[in-house]
Amino acid sequence: MLGVIDAALDRTRTVLMLFILLIISGSVTYSNIPKESNPDITIPIIYVSIVHDGISPEDAERMLIRPMENELRSLEGVKEMTSNASEGHASVQLEFIAGFDSKEALADVRDKVTIAKAKLPSETEEPVIKQVSMADEQPVITVVLSGPVPERGLVTIARELKDVIEGLKEVLEVEVGGDREDIVEIVVDPLLMESYGLDQGDIFNLLDRNNRLVAAGTLDNGAGRFAVKVPSVYESVKDVYDQPIKIDGDKVITFGDVAQVRRSYKDPNSFARLNAHPAVSLEIKKRSR
């Protein structure tokens, strides 16, 4: 040991150069190492959310939770399963044994939920599956779009930015706050409807029957088989305008004759404004390293 110390003292310049080199390389390495103030911690919980507007808690338990539980209870590695039913909503929380493979568990849950979806009411929205994560719960950046422009313009720009930002490898997902689901609004003139001998039930049933996906199967012509497509789903507002309702003599009555058809949004649940102007926010969540 004394020999090493004596050798270092005899070669002071070499030791100092090595010391400076170590400091420089350490500084460069430290600046390049990924650092997080709140590092991601794997939480062994996966959450399944089911939305069905207007359903009571009792019916949600019977029609939503039970079919989902019957499929999810066969998963391996589940420590505890907790379910909750409320007005218009049901949820199932799965707690796995510590040390579980999150990717494999998430894939298994998706498979079971897909099977259970066939047993849910047709009006039920698509179940949402989410793995609980400390890093993914809170957005790291929030971008707000605002200005004296129409709401449709803000929403369109926000959706385009969402697609661009989600293409970055560092971004897990982007949620658009203030985005509303597109709908087609049909405003029927009562006087015109009455003059043609129509009622609201006829118009509603006609729309419902003519906007369905029809599986026409395949056709074999001897040389091969090909799928047959039936154009049965509305693709534009013009398709609704041109939809026949009734034949009156030599004239065909369409929706354009008795109603106004326009694009709109579902009713909002909340409002956001910035400097007295409508606003839309982009909540950006980072991807775990």
- Domain spans, the chain: 42-134, 138-181+267-286, 183-265
Burial class (CB in 10 A: 0-12, 13-18, 19+), 215: exposed
Decide: 15 and 8 in contact? Cβ < 8 Å.
yes
In CATH, what is the architecture of 42-134?
A: 2-Layer Sandwich (3.30)
Which residue has better confidence, 33 or 96? 96
Token pair for residue 225?
């088989």
**pLDDT at residue 40, as a whole number:** 61
**pLDDT at residue 92, as a whole number:** 93
**pLDDT at residue 135, as a whole number:** 56
Model confidence pLDDT, tens digit, residues 119-129: 888 888 889 88
Burial class (CB in 10 A: 0-12, 13-18, 19+), 184: middle
Which residue has better confidence, 63 or 196? 63
Q: Which band of pLDDT confidence, cut at 50, 70 and 90, is reported for residue 49?
A: very high
**pLDDT at residue 137, as a whole number:** 58
Model confidence pLDDT, tens digit, residues 158-215: 889 999 998 888 787 888 888 877 777 778 888 877 777 777 777 777 777 777 766 6
Which residue has better confidence, 26 or 2? 26
CATH of region 138-181+267-286, choose from 3.40.50.300, 1.20.120.1730, 3.40.50.450, 3.30.70.1320: 3.30.70.1320
**pLDDT at residue 259, as a whole number:** 78
- What is the residue-averaged pLDDT of the chain? 81
**pLDDT at residue 251, as a whole number:** 79
**pLDDT at residue 85, as a whole number:** 92
Decide: 151 and 278 in contact? Cβ < 8 Å.
yes
The CATH number of 183-265 is: 3.30.2090.10
Helices within 168-260 (DSSP H only) = 190-195, 200-209, 237-241, 255-258
Q: Which band of pLDDT confidence, cut at 50, 70 and 90, is reported for residue 9?
A: low
Q: Which residue has the tokens 């385009």?
A: 160
Distance CA 91, CA 48 (A): 6
